[in-house]
Amino acid sequence: MPVDTARMTKVFSRPQSLTEARLTYCPGCHHGIITRIIGQTLDELGLTERTIGIAPVGCAVFAYLWYRCDALQVAHGRASAVATGVKRARPDRIVFSYQGDGDFASIGTAESIHAANRGENITVIFVNNQIYGMTGGEMAPTTLVDQRTTTTPEGRDPLLCGYPIRFSELIAQLEAPVYVTRQALYDTRHIMDCTKAIKKAFQNQVDGRGYSLVEVLATCPTNWHMSPVQANQHVANTVTKVFPLGDLVNKGA
């Protein structure tokens, strides 16, 4: 029996800040949830027309297509440096970079740390899914010990490849950052928490408070060889043991 929705309250719809483009991510990939949260945040804070996004290399390479914002697609790992350049050139605009674990915590290590250390007034969304999705499931700096990837076919051996890097903890050692947090999306409560964190990270920039980093533990069902629901459980039961959730820095909270 069809219901007349015209007489009902719309409690959830696509954020206005998102374009009509369909996301290119695999089924169940958390990138899409993060994209929606950012769009909703831009809506709620009224920032769409003054925001400039930085799209990385990796699965999110098309991030410039998702938002009704100006954007720059940039070289692998350099998003925080480019964000620095944009923000210094246009201090009254809102600049966010969207970076995967390979981008932010491997090839872009220097750019990531030093943008944070300068306390650039930017918002960084760091998506940690412990794998290189776009290139075919290779090891990421965040890959768990014993996790099988296409470049650690027998599992990550810490004696050969080191341990998963807790990059947000490194950033949290620095004086300048005002907000460093690790969030997850494996259930609705955590999705709501992550939404609050991302909103705060943008609000900090609006208020001119400085560098904010939101690390999001995300899934890669395709390269983890799990169903999206199994992947959520894996984050809840295993990944969060290595990457504990919560605020690492929250100045003046």
Partner 1 sequence: MPRGVVVVDVERCKGCGLCVAACPQKVLAQSGTLNRSGYDVVHAQNPDACVGCAFCALTCPDTALTVFREKTAP
Partner 2 sequence: MGERRLLRGNEAIAESAIRAGCQCYFAYPITPQGELVEYMARHMPRLGRTFIQAESEVAAINMVYGAAGAGVRTMTSSSSPGISLKQEGISYLAGSNLPAVIVNVVRGGPGLGNIAPSQCDYFQAVKGGGHGDYHMIVLGPSTVPEAGELTMLAFDLADRYRTPVMILADGLLGQMMEPVELPEPIDVSQLPPKPWAATGARGREPNIILSFDLGPENLKKMNLDLQAKYDLIRKHEVRYEETQTADAEIIVVAYGTIARIAKTAIDMARAEGIRAGLFRPITLWPYPYDALRAVADRVKTVLTVEMSAGQMWEDVRLAVAERAKTPFYGEMGGIVPTPKGILSEVKKHAR
**Binding residues for partner 1 (CB under 8 A):** 1, 3, 5, 7-15, 18, 22-23, 25-33, 35-36, 39, 185, 187-188, 191-192, 221, 227-229, 232
Residues 6+ apart with CB under 8 A from 35: 18, 23, 63, 66
Tell the smallest beta-carbon distance from residue 84 to partner 1 (Å): 30
Tokens representing 82 are 């480019």
Contact 71, 77 (CB under 8 A): no
Tell the smallest beta-carbon distance from residue 109 to partner 2 (Å): 10
* Residue from 35, 40, 41, 84 in contact with partner 2 (CB under 8 A): 84
**What distance separates the 2 farthest-apart alpha carbons in the chain?**
63
Tell the smallest beta-carbon distance from residue 166 to partner 1 (Å): 25
Fill in the DSSP letter of residue 152: B
* Residue from 93, 134, 191, 236 in contact with partner 2 (CB under 8 A): 93
- Give whichever of 40 and 112 is closer to partner 2, judged by the CB atom: 112
Tell the smallest beta-carbon distance from residue 113 to partner 1 (Å): 30
Q: Look-up: residue for tokens 């930017």?
A: 122
CA 228 to chain centre: 18
* Strand pairing category for 212-217 and 123-128: parallel
Contacts to partner 2 by CB under 8 A: 48-52, 54-55, 61, 64, 67-75, 78, 81-90, 93, 110-111, 113-114, 118
